[in-house]
Structure 1
């Protein structure tokens, strides 16, 4: 929901088991129901696990806005995270009144793999209209993931139910990789062997058309996209995000599938 706090106890300490579990838990609940919401089941798991670390813990939580310090909180991990999350909500969430049928989500150069450029989808999914298209525009990107790329090529990008309804087939893959797949694909359904996506994701990167099809995404030639053609068209249902992945976008009145869990 919001980063920080007790979460940082676990990478490199607990090993992959806890990380894979709480990432997959978030995927099962779905990205729009988790991201930007505060007291989620995932956060409860993190805090419960941290409670098993029987030493005194202090935490500094920073809220940064465009490289400038907006807030600094110190104290217990739970209290400081809670206060920082409230401030982060003011700085790091952009609200829109209506969803968009077309979004050009431009990945900054620091996102050099689809593994991280996927943020350009899941931080904008809440404002992507049903049946709409989100284009991840990253002409510098030519890698799915150095670490996880082969596994992602095997499983592709799919909605949550694609995996849950074929769990015996996918349960032995790293759950964090499955979670990444669902986050970037977006929500959808899987019934009678047919997957139906709520919206479409198209890659305008250096990944080949064949590879895009293999991993279940659309393809557009990045050299044929004129970014300026997408600018200043919000009234038409077209949104341009010049530096995507850093800011979460949500609707002022969220649909039921993005209202959160608490």
Structure 2
């Protein structure tokens, strides 16, 4: 298929709504006449002008037989009706009238009956993809399971942004299938493989073993797939690419590498990274650490400043409190004590703690990670994180100190900072 429609803003500009509308209609209108279409969309933890896009997509797909939007949750909590309406930017009245024919669904990831096995990724294939970083902790064959609704439609349409990503290098594309609407096996193995490689060697890298695993799994899906991949700048679009999921994602990743990576001349000793309020649990707010870790000096401190945050994880909190946040080798060298913890949770644990070593029973993280949120000090101690009272922080005091090795990032989580 290749790319069938695209638009890219020049320089630091963004696309106007008329250009976006024209591109969507050029790429989608009349392509799925009388077909059943399943559109996969992100939840509220990704920045995208979904309200505007939802209306334009429904208009462009006016001649389809059935149009349903499914939130590709991965393992995020499901959204209730009001949250779904807010996500796509419609009122309850509009839901009952203008958009009554459009389905709004959550990925039912926690219901085994909602999933179908469409293949198995053999351990030898995983070893070949992982290469030198393969480790027995990855386990054996991996069941490729996906929401069975993906096979009940004539076409799958993925709508989502692309940013630098801690697990796969750059997000978007087939990631809306795995982990977006997949079962736990692929989620756990891809995330743990990323943790074995470490964020520093993954984030902002286009071609990674985890991306290769996702693309291999996507080949098992019998339903045709089209991707609408976007690069977001602020709350606007800097680019939009429509085509097959490989080429459209590739073009978006290239543009994301230009728009979403900020290069600095030297690493910082202290970073105050303020998590965006759309991250309502530490599970997602940790992106405020992931995107800044490469710009923190050895022995430096990164403060995840999230004064709105009071929950570690609605879904995975029990396991996170049991495992704590540690460097990778802390888990690997004590595997008997941690092998019962889901690999995705262990991956999250080492992603937030960052790189480091564990030798002779002593853990030495490369940087110090401190949490300033409503999560109390005792909980931070249990989790093996530093604590700072969020009320003691005045962001203005952190501004304009780059020359002194201090950086304040007011809306962290999507822009990647790297040292030249």
Normalized per residue, the structure richer in strand is 2
Structure 1: distance between partners of 2:280 and 2:311: 7
Gaps of 5+ in 2: 1-168
The reply on whether 1:62 has 2:230 as its aligned counterpart is yes
Q: TM-score by structure 2 length?
A: 0.58
Aligned to 2:266: 98
Aligned to 2:371: 203
For residues 186-220 of structure 1, the C-alpha deviation after alignment (integer angstroms, 9 at most, x for no partner) is 00101111111101001111111111111001111
Structure 1: distance between partners of 2:172 and 2:252: 9
For residues 20-77 of structure 1, the C-alpha deviation after alignment (integer angstroms, 9 at most, x for no partner) is 1101110110011111110011111111111222443221111111122211112221
Structure 2: distance between partners of 1:114 and 1:88: 25
Aligned to 2:61: none
Q: Which of 314, 317, 329 matches 1:149?
A: 317
Structure 2: distance between partners of 1:135 and 1:182: 16
The reply on whether 1:215 has 2:215 as its aligned counterpart is no
Q: Which of 351, 354, 365 matches 1:186?
A: 354
Structure 2: distance between partners of 1:89 and 1:12: 22
Structure 2: distance between partners of 1:61 and 1:18: 22
Q: Which of 306, 322, 334 matches 1:166?
A: 334
The reply on whether 1:230 has 2:412 as its aligned counterpart is no
Aligned to 1:175: 343
1:12 Cα shift?
Answer: 6.2
Q: Which of 249, 258, 262 matches 1:81?
A: 249
The reply on whether 1:31 has 2:173 as its aligned counterpart is no
The reply on whether 1:5 has 2:173 as its aligned counterpart is yes
Relative to structure 1, the CA distance from residue 143 to residue 247 in structure 2 (aligned partners, 3 Å threshold; closer, same or farther) is same
- Structure 2 counterpart SS, 1:112: coil
1:13 Cα shift?
Answer: 4.5
Aligned to 1:250: 418
Structure 2: distance between partners of 1:84 and 1:39: 13
- Structure 2 counterpart SS, 1:182: helix
Structure 2: distance between partners of 1:155 and 1:19: 18
- Structure 2 counterpart SS, 1:243: strand
Structure 1: distance between partners of 2:270 and 2:230: 34
Relative to structure 1, the CA distance from residue 57 to residue 112 in structure 2 (aligned partners, 3 Å threshold; closer, same or farther) is closer
Structure 2: distance between partners of 1:31 and 1:96: 18
- Structure 2 counterpart SS, 1:81: helix
Structure 1: distance between partners of 2:362 and 2:197: 21
Pairwise CA RMSD: 1.2
Aligned to 2:307: 139
Is the deviation greater in 49-58 or in 138-147? 49-58
Larger Rg: 2
Q: TM-score by structure 1 length?
A: 0.93
- Structure 1 counterpart SS, 2:411: coil
The reply on whether 1:125 has 2:290 as its aligned counterpart is no
Q: Number of matched residues?
A: 252
Structure 2: distance between partners of 1:251 and 1:19: 30
The reply on whether 1:115 has 2:283 as its aligned counterpart is yes
Gaps of 5+ in 1: 253-262
